A and B are shown apart, each in its own frame.
Chain A
Amino acid sequence: MWLWWAVASRSFRRYATYRAATLAGIFTNCVFGVIICFTYIAVWEQNPDAGGYDVTDALTYVWLGQAMIMTVAVWNGGSTDELADRIRTGDVAIDLHRPVGLLSWYLVSDLGRAAYHLATRGLAPTLLGALLFDLRYPGDLLTWTLFTVAVVQAVVVSFGIRMLVSASAFWLLDDSGVKNLAAVLAMFLSGLVVPLVLFPGWTRDVALLLPWSSFLQVPADIWLGQRTGLDAVEALALQTFWLLVLLGCCRALLRAATRRVVVQGG
């Protein structure tokens, strides 16, 4: 347990070193947040009930989205980026020799990173959004708790996908093509570009079932009180389902990859 804490907290501190980069990122998140807010104000002016949201929900959704970009590492970033590099350079051999599992090592350090990004790039744009616009906040402790669970699960689901992408470097050596594709899917299907609830017809239902809906749509719907009680539990269960499936795939893929690496290194 102590070991995991050490890995996570050092990962947190590592990201905390780059202060100028964090400030620059916060600035960019804020600018985009403001731009999207005015777009959504125009949309909800025309259709005050679009996607079952009112305009306050929509604006809150914008800032939650900006907060989740880095926390959940929606399109890339995080500890998994290093893995692909280390596979290319061969440094991954050291990772495989550690007395702890490769998967849990990277997962824990990604959680440390996410904690740092939540505290900085999550919180700061949200505060600015709260100052500039009228937003909605969870009313009770239960909603806050459910939201926290949803965010943690979101990070793990995103980690699972990013890990699969990085591990593809075991076979492809260069993961940039797959990473590009994964980033596009994630950006679009997480609801970052347009909330999934605005998708027309059946595309909405499908998008809500895919793993990417865990990134932003699920935490946001819990925060906004769109999904409460049993419905919220169902949303969290979908996240749990995906994180188990994805981590299972990661484990299987890494096992297959490890065998391959040993053969190559011999």
Chain B
Amino acid sequence: MGERLRSEIRAFTLLAWTWVRVSMSYRTSFVLLTVGQFVITGLDFVAILILFSNVDTLGGFDLPQIAFLYAGSALALGVADLVVGNVERLGRHIRLGSFDAMLLRPVSAFTQVCADQFALRRLGRISQGVFVLVWSVQALDLDWTPARVAMVPYLVVCGATIFVSLFTLGAVLQFWTTDASEVANAFTYGGSTLAQYPLTIYPAEAVRTLTFVVPIAFVNWYPSLYILDMPDPLGLPGAMRFAAPVAALALGLLAAAGWRTGLRHYRSTGS
């Protein structure tokens, strides 16, 4: 298992690096696209700033606190998007028949689909998230205990795992219908948009659904409640704030099982 994983990671790195070198051969274009990505995702935060030119708090959270939620969500999505974002191109690979070629190679098809056309410019989204994170950390009036500090990378890793699983589940759908790839956006990009705001603004049933059904609340909400020292509007046990790995693991296993089922179901394009 460990050996297998190591070789997959090595294959991914190698394939991704090839694509990085491809994109580097058009250096101006690469720089422009990365800066573009930075600006595009940055406008998301400008939108929040504009909202805050009209109000002082949203759902009981002030601007630095929301900036922290925003950064957590953006980083988790950014990391997931960088690593597996291209899995949403599965439908295209199936249509063009290139997926069949991938199945013949001695590296798992999942690794190949994710590494194909690997886009380093997606660092634009991540660096934008880091930017907002740094700003919010210095604007927040918090006592940064070691536990709090440690919780930040923990949040990003668990959140990214949840988004990786959602990207994968969205791609799994494409084994059945190659047309409907947009449904996945509702969960990945939609989930990240949703997580930018405190969940106190949503009805309690929605928060319950986001906790127990589609665990987007674990991306940043529960860990952030601990870091920001805010009360849980649902009044769930304090252990929820540390339960993100459980949610990430459960969703990850579901995604892996889904991918395997989809792969077994796959019967080539037939034309």
Question: Is the pairing of A and B real?
Answer: yes
Chain A residues at the B interface, C-beta cutoff of 8 Å:
18-21, 23-25, 27-28, 31-32, 35, 38-39, 41-43, 46-47, 50-51, 177, 180-181, 184, 187-188, 193-194, 198-200
Which of B43, B182, B194 touches A25 (beta carbons < 8 Å)?
B182
On whether the beta carbons of A31 and B180 are closer than 8 Å, the reply is no
B3 at the interface (CB under 8 A from A): no
A174 to B206, CA, bound (A): 43
Interface residues of B in 52-77 (CB under 8 A from A): 53-59
On whether the beta carbons of B179 and A198 are closer than 8 Å, the reply is no
Interface residues of B in 5-47 (CB under 8 A from A): 29, 32-33, 36, 39-40, 43-44, 46-47
11 new A-B contacts at CB < 8 Å, known A23-B180, A27-B182, A42-B201: A20-B177, A32-B186, A38-B202, A46-B58, A177-B33, A184-B36, A188-B43, A188-B47, A194-B47, A198-B53, A199-B50
On whether the beta carbons of A35 and B182 are closer than 8 Å, the reply is no
Q: How near does chain A come to B54, taking the closest CB pair, in angstroms?
A: 4
A184 to B32, CA, bound (A): 14
User: Known contacts being A46-B55, A51-B54, is A24 close to B202, with CB within 8 Å?
Assistant: no
B185 at the interface (CB under 8 A from A): yes
Interface bin, chain B: 35 or more
On whether the beta carbons of A181 and B183 are closer than 8 Å, the reply is no
- B53 nearest in chain A by CB position: A200
Interface residues of B, dominant DSSP? helix
Q: Which residues of A contact B167 (CB under 8 A)?
A: none
On whether the beta carbons of B186 and A27 are closer than 8 Å, the reply is yes
User: Known contacts being A51-B54, A181-B36, A188-B43, is A28 close to B201, with CB within 8 Å?
Assistant: no
Which of A28, A39, A194 touches B197 (beta carbons < 8 Å)?
A39
Q: Which 5 A-B pairs have the closest CB atoms?
A: A20-B179, A24-B180, A46-B55, A42-B201, A31-B186
Which of B43, B51, B182 touches A187 (beta carbons < 8 Å)?
B43
On whether the beta carbons of B43 and A43 are closer than 8 Å, the reply is no
Q: Which residues of B contact A32 (CB under 8 A)?
A: 186, 190, 193
Total A-B residue contacts, Cβ distance less than 8 Å: 88
Q: Which residues of A contact B51 (CB under 8 A)?
A: 39, 43, 194, 198
Which of A24, A31, A35 touches B181 (beta carbons < 8 Å)?
A24
Interface residues of B in 151-200 (CB under 8 A from A): 177, 179-183, 185-186, 190, 193-194, 197
A28 to B185, CA, bound (A): 7
On whether the beta carbons of A18 and B197 are closer than 8 Å, the reply is no
- B61 nearest in chain A by CB position: A42
The 8 A CB mask of B194-217 against A (1 = contact, 0 = none) is 100100011100100000000000
